[in-house]
Structure formats: C-alpha cells, structure tokens
Amino acid sequence: MKPMNLTDLSSFLSERSIKPSFQRIKILNYLIHNHIHPTVNDIYDSLISEIPSLSKTTIYNTLNIFAKNKIVKEINIEENELRYDINTHEHGHFKCIECQEVFDFDIAFEDSAKKSLDGFELLECEMNIKGVCKTCKNIK
C-alpha cells in the first residue's frame, strides 16, 4: 500500500464506514509506513511520543476494527503475541530465530492447499515458516 496524505487516509477509513479519528489515522499511517509486522507494543512505543495520551486499549480496539474490515491481517507466527500486517497481496511470513526479523515471501496458496480443500470455504490463509535467514546463516 502506498503512502497517503492525511486527506487520503481519512477518506480511506470513511469509505469503509470507520470514523477517521486522530488515533485511527495515526495507527493506519504507521502501518502503511512500517511493514515490519509490528506488535501492539511496537505501535505503542512508536506513537506514544507523538500522542502522549495514547492508550494500548485504543490500539487493540483499532486493530480489531481494521482486522474485521480486512485492512490488516493478524499474524500468528509467535505463540504469545499477535503481529499485524497491512493487507496487500497474499504472502507468507518467515521468522528468523536468530535475528527475530520477519520477512515476507511470495506464495501461491491455490496451488498447494486449495486442491486438498475442495468444497470448503476458505476465508483466511496463513503460512508461517521459522528458520535462519540468509544473513544470519552466513554469519555463523
């Protein structure tokens, strides 16, 4: 998703019947500019200096609204916490167990899975892989 100015962000939300509050716009803007699969805490830490009154509850609320409206996708790659990803094309996630970074990779879900699930209605697909990334592999 391409960066947007304030007016664009505002209409983006309005079009989806989400009232474009200051906090929601800031969170959306953060997600568009930071494709790092952030956690709620990542978002909080990044925005708190700009919005000192910001509460994590608001971030949770906002992300839940965004998820319901398919603006973001919840990523279950870690047992204990959710990460969020602005919805673009379908892709998988690779988490490096050394540097902890999460990478995107292309994937064609139809090929592999959908033929085994004939007759099922597929709503959300998620593919997560853990391993060691190229960089960390070369360091060792």
Buried b (16+ CB within 10 A) or exposed e, 13-42: beeeebebeebbbbbbbbbbeeeebbbbeb
Give yes or no for residue 46 binding DNA (CB under 7 A).
no
What mask of x and - would describe binding to DNA in positions 83 to 102, judged by CB under 7 A?
--------------------
Q: How far is 78 from 126, CA to CA, in rounded Å?
A: 13
Question: Of the ranges 36-44, 94-102, 104-112, 128-136, which one interacts with DNA (CB under 7 A)?
Answer: 36-44
137 binds its own copies (CB under 8 A): yes
- Does 19 contact DNA by CB under 7 A? yes
Integer Cα distance of 83 and 31 in angstroms: 11
Binding site for DNA (CB under 7 A): 18-19, 21-24, 39-41, 51, 53-58, 60-62, 64, 79-82
Binding site for its own copies (CB under 8 A): 74, 76-79, 82, 92, 94, 97, 105-109, 111-113, 116-117, 119-134, 137
